[in-house]
């Protein structure tokens, strides 16, 4: 959500004439994130988020926008795309594919507790269940195929120990595939900064532009590796109380299978590998942008190393 493509108020005001959202009042760039250009937009009629897609081709974008619309219709608090006067969700602004979605209330939390992890577990299960009736298919764009390609691209920037860790984990994951795990659309990037809380209530889930079809347990592992750490800055181990609260709340709505419980340590490693690779890629192969925010890949290297040394078993209490 960095700004790669500047948009002026005059440009946006002209573009918004294609929508029934009222006159533009305020335009504010969003500085966090790394993939797309995003602005907060306030009009006479409401508050929205404008996204200009920097990497994703226009042909792939209907999967994401229609998924968000589908989930919103099923009661999931996610951004709802706004259709223009031709009933299309996707437009073009400054030469880039662009979309306008509703802006949700609330703010992200730096250190969620057991209550917030419980809220996350319930919402993630609801989201997976609602996604079962979404007919479109798109493979997880940051799945194993992308891991192999990205690993080749970042290889020249790594030292010997990092190369050894990366290759060993790619080999390990290639030997541990789980085609029989329950699958469907997954968010695949539901970190703390992509969830909004209004008080103690989880009021929104945002940024679906890494979504795809994968095993649901991968989505669960991505969340656990970010939400349930004992100390994100120092101790990357999973906190028992946070993990139990998260998994038990999810399980109450969509019970985990025995196969999922067995696959849990492998998927935790897969989730750590995916984000170590993406952060390495963003750090060493950046794109020019007006406001660019890249995350430190060392965090997820340490998460991966810890998961390899001491893969957490399935919590019995969950």
pLDDT digits (tens, 9 = 90+) for 86-145: 999 999 999 999 999 999 999 999 999 999 999 999 999 999 999 999 999 999 999 999
Residue 222 falls within a domain, yes or no?
yes
CB atoms within 10 A of CB 143: 17
Do 89 and 149 belong together in one domain?
no
Start-to-end CA span in the chain (Å): 35
Domain hosting residue 71, numbered range: 9-102
Residue 245 falls within a domain, yes or no?
yes
Do 137 and 252 belong together in one domain?
yes
Average model confidence (pLDDT) for the chain? 94
Nearest to 7 by CA among 44, 40, 32: 40
CB atoms within 10 A of CB 76: 19
How many contiguous H segments (helices) and E segments (strands) does the chain have? 9, 11
- Give me the number of domains the chain comprises: 2
Nearest to 250 by CA among 216, 211, 208, 275: 216
Do 180 and 212 belong together in one domain?
yes
Do 28 and 85 belong together in one domain?
yes
Cβ atoms of 93 and 11 closer than 8 Å: yes
Do 56 and 130 belong together in one domain?
no
Give the separation between CA 281 and CA 301, rounded to whole angstroms. Answer: 13
As a three-state string, the secondary structure of 115-168 is: HHHHHHHHHHHHHHHHHCCCCCCCECCCCHHHHHHHHHHHHHHCCHHHHHHHHH
Do 126 and 200 belong together in one domain?
yes
Mean pLDDT, residues 160-174 taken together? 98
Do 140 and 25 belong together in one domain?
no
Do 171 and 287 belong together in one domain?
yes
Counting other chains too, the contacts that 26-29 makes at CB distance below 8 Å and 24 or more residues apart are 29/3, 29/290, 29/291
Considering 102, 127, 162, which residue would you say is the last residue of a domain? 102
pLDDT digits (tens, 9 = 90+) for 170-213: 999 999 999 999 999 999 999 999 999 999 899 999 999 999 99
The CATH number of whichever domain residue 49 belongs to comes to 3.30.200.20
The pLDDT of residue 290? 47
Residue 3 falls within a domain, yes or no?
no
Do 283 and 143 belong together in one domain?
yes
Do 290 and 228 belong together in one domain?
yes
Give the separation between CA 31 and CA 35, rounded to whole angstroms. Answer: 11
pLDDT digits (tens, 9 = 90+) for 29-87: 998 656 899 999 999 999 999 999 998 989 999 999 999 999 999 999 999 999 999 99
Residue 71 falls within a domain, yes or no?
yes
Do 94 and 236 belong together in one domain?
no
Do 81 and 132 belong together in one domain?
no
């Amino acid at each position: 959500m960095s700004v790669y493509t500047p948009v002026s108020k005059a440009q946006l005001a002209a573009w918004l004439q294609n929508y029934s959202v009222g006159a533009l009042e305020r335009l504010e760039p969003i500085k966090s994130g790394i993939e797309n250009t995003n602005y907060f937009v306030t009009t006479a009629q409401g508050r929205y988020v404008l996204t200009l897609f920097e990497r994703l081709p226009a042909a792939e974008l209907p999967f994401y926008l229609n998924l968000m619309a589908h989930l919103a219709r099923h009661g999931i608090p996610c951004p709802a795309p706004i259709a223009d006067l031709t009933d299309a969700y996707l437009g073009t602004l400054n030469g880039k594919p662009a979309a306008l979605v509703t802006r949700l209330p609330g703010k992200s939390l730096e250190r969620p507790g057991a209550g917030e992890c419980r809220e996350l577990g319930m919402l993630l299960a609801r989201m997976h269940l609602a996604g079962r009736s979404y007919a479109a298919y798109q493979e997880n764009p940051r799945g194993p195929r992308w891991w192999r390609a990205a690993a080749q691209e970042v290889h020249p920037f790594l030292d010997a120990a990092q190369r050894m860790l990366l290759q060993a984990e790619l080999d390990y994951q290639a030997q541990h595939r789980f085609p029989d795990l329950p699958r469907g659309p997954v968010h695949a990037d539901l970190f703390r900064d992509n969830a909004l809380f209004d008080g103690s209530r989880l009021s929104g889930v945002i940024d679906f532009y890494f979504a795809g079809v994968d095993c649901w347990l991968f989505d669960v592992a991505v969340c656990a590796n970010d939400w349930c750490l004992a100390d994100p800055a120092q101790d990357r181990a999973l906190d028992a109380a946070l993990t139990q609260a998260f998994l038990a709340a999810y399980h109450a709505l969509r019970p985990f299978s025995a196969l999922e419980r067995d696959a849990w340590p492998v998927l935790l490693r897969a989730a750590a590998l995916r984000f170590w690779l993406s952060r390495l890629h963003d750090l060493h192969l950046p794109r020019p942008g007006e406001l660019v925010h890249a995350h430190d890949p060392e965090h997820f290297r340490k998460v991966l190393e810890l998961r390899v040394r001491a893969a957490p078993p399935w919590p019995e209490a969950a």
